[in-house]
Structure formats: structure tokens, C-alpha cells
Structure 1
Amino acid sequence: MTFLDSKLQLSNWIPSEQVRPESLTGPVKDARGADWSGLVIGSIDLCGALLCRVDLRGSDLSACSLEGADLRLALYDSNTTFPEEFEIRSTGAVGPGARLNGSFLNGADLRGMDLRGANLMGAYLSGSDLSGCLLDQVRLVGADLRHAVLRGAQCCGARFGGCQLDFADFRGANLSDASLDGAESIKGADFSLTSGLQEQCELLLSRPYEELDCWNPLTRKTTRDSLESIE
């Protein structure tokens, strides 16, 4: 390839985040990080395409070919449609019913995601933003949620056994029937304005003082103060 050819190719280059479905042609189909939410994509060959982190919420991919596509961390919801018999839940994509055991989601922006029915056992979610997420009945056993943000999240019946919750921000979350008593640590976590946690408060307040009296520099409260405020 000559210098002139290389320069010409670069002038036609489009970042993967801006790639539209209809422009995916050639041997390398790269749309990593693109926003395809709400699109009717039509009959497009996406076999082997790089679709990591693509936002597919509300999209119609029912006519697409998706064999071998890399969908890790792609976002989908209950309104996303896929081809018949295509199993999205085991692809590494994030959405309702996703099988994400042990997945690395550190620092992920998952605000407002519907994760009901997902399996997040042992997932790495430290520093992730789960504000407003639907996490009802989700299994988070053994997950790393240190410094995670769960403000306003719906966590009814969620299981936090063995979780690391250091400095997690649960302010305003719904924790009705959630199980936090088996958490590995709640050091510096803030439970201010949560609902459904009253019955577990006494048990949580019996945890070691190293956890309860730790100051959260973000919310400017200790874990003890946040728990006592909801009694």
C-alpha cells in the first residue's frame, strides 16, 4: 500500500461509534460503541460483526444474521427483538435475563437498565453506575459492588450474600425483601432514604464498628448514620 492509498483510506474512515447498520460492509464489520437504539435494522448480514457496547434497546434485529457476532456488553431491553432461536442471554450482552456470572463490568454505565432475571453472581461491578436500574430478584451473590452507585434502584428480593458493598451508594433504593445480612462488607455504604430495609436494620447495625463508622467521602455520612436515619 502506498502512502497516498493510506491517506485516502484515512480520509474515508468513520469511527466505529458513528457506524450505521447499513454501512457495515467488507471483511471487518466494526460498530463497537454505536448507538442503534430504536432502529429497525432490516435484513443485514451481521455475522462476525464487532458489536461490543452497541446500544440495541428498542431495536428490531429480527431479520438480521447474527451468527458469530461479538455482542459483549451490548445493551438490550424487553423491546429489543432478535431472530428466532437466537439466544441473546448467553452472548455477554446486558439486559433482562442476561447470564453475566463473573463478568467484568467495572465502571460500566448501566443507568436505568432493566436487569430483571439476570444472573450477576460473582460479577465485577466496582464503580459501576446502576442508578435507577431494575434489579428485582437478581442474584448478586459474591459480586464486587465496591463504590457502585445504586441510587433509586429497584432491588426488591435481590440477593447480596457474599457481596463486597464497601462505599456503595444505595440512597433512595427500594430494598424490600432484599437479603443484605450475608454481605461480606458494608464498610462506608450509604443506605439513606432506602425503603424496605427496616426489618434488617438491627442486624446490619450489629456489624463491626470498622464497617459502621466508616465515613463515605461522597455522601458525607457514615454507614451507621445512614442506617439509623431509616429506623
Structure 2
Amino acid sequence: MAITEADVLYEDNHLIAINKRAGDVVQVDETGDQPLDDMVREFLAKKYDKPGTAFLGVAHRLDRPVSGLILFAKTSKALDRMNAIFKNREIKKTYFAVVRKKPAKPQGKLINWLIKDPKKNIVKSYDYEAKGSQYCELDYQVLTELDGYYLLRVNPLTGRSHQIRVQLSTMGCPIVGDNKYGYPRGSRKGSICLHARQLEFVHPVKKEPIKIFAKLPKDGFWEKFEKF
């Protein structure tokens, strides 16, 4: 599917933010499916009638089954500066996650150490600093319960691969649809109930506060949580 103006959450001369559909891969992988970054390049080339390939840098990533806000840089300068912003944790990331098991505490902080197996594309979690592990931390809060599902607001302080998925699973609350990390069954749509909801940061060039917000997918399930 091509990118349209309806998918664009924010755009200026330096950055473009897209509301990613669950199932879209951000960058080319072994599946050979068209990646999102290529779709965005095509969108920009068509919108501005630019011949050739437009520059586009991936500032961060979302797992394929995750929906929501993803940010790209339109210039190399903006990309370098956004990479530094993410690396230095000068950005607030907010996700929505839906789980079936109620967390033991209505809000809290999770700290773990993660090791990724790149061959199996799975991450293991430890409650101590294992050899080769990476420290990860997030805050969560239960926002509501609807029909036996619990909506969590999650703010990851670090940006590790599969971090939210594995940390919530380690807590005993796997994300709905995420059978890789403990949910009993996967989604037929190739999605999990994890959505990148919001980013807050200081613009890398304009030096002004930016807050970008992504609406929830219209899939017959997420809509019930939109008011949160």
C-alpha cells in the first residue's frame, strides 16, 4: 500500500512522521516486501515532483507487528541530530499496549537486562546484568479496563529491540496477539496490540518543542480506547 497524506502526522523541511500500519516493515528485510522507508521516499518524490530518489533517514524503528508513530529525517543534518537525541534520551516516547492480565500494580517501573538472539529474532530478559546484556527501563500505568482488556500507557526510557514486548511479558502481562512473547495466540492480521502513540522532543533544527500524536488503528478493536 502506498503512503498518502492521511498517513502523514507531521512534516517540515527536516522531518516527516508517519502513522505506520501494523504489518509494514520499516526497512528492507529478508521477506522482500516493500519497506516503509521506500514508500515514504516515493511519496515525497511524487508530492514535490522530484526526479530520482529523495534522501530519507530512519531515525528510529518499530517492529513489524507494531503500529503508530515513526519518524524519518529528510536531510542528513536532521538525521544526525535526531540520532543524537534518541541516543541521549532527550525524547519522551509514549506507547499504548493492551494486555489481558491485570498488572499486580496499577503503575510502576520495570528494569531488566536483555540479550537478543539475531538468528531467532527473539530477546531474552534477565533481572541481573548477564554477560552481553543491555540495560533497559520503562515506566507503565494502567489507564483503563474494558471488556477484560487492560490498556497500559508505556514510556520506555531506553530503546532496545523488542523492549516493551519482552518486559511486559516478563512482568506476566504479554501483549495481546504477541505469541512470540507469551500470548496464547497470534493475530490473523499479523499485528500485536502495541501502538506508538506520541513523541515529544526539541526540534533538531528549529530548536522548538515538538509533540507528535498518532491516532489508533481503525480495526474494530483499538477504537474503544481512542478517548485515552
**Which TM-score tier does this pair reach, normalised by the shorter chain?**
under 0.3
The TM-score, its normalising length taken from structure 2, stands at 0.24
**Which is richer in strand?**
2
Greater length-normalized contact order (CA 8 Å, ≥ 6 residues apart): 2
Bigger Rg, which one = 1
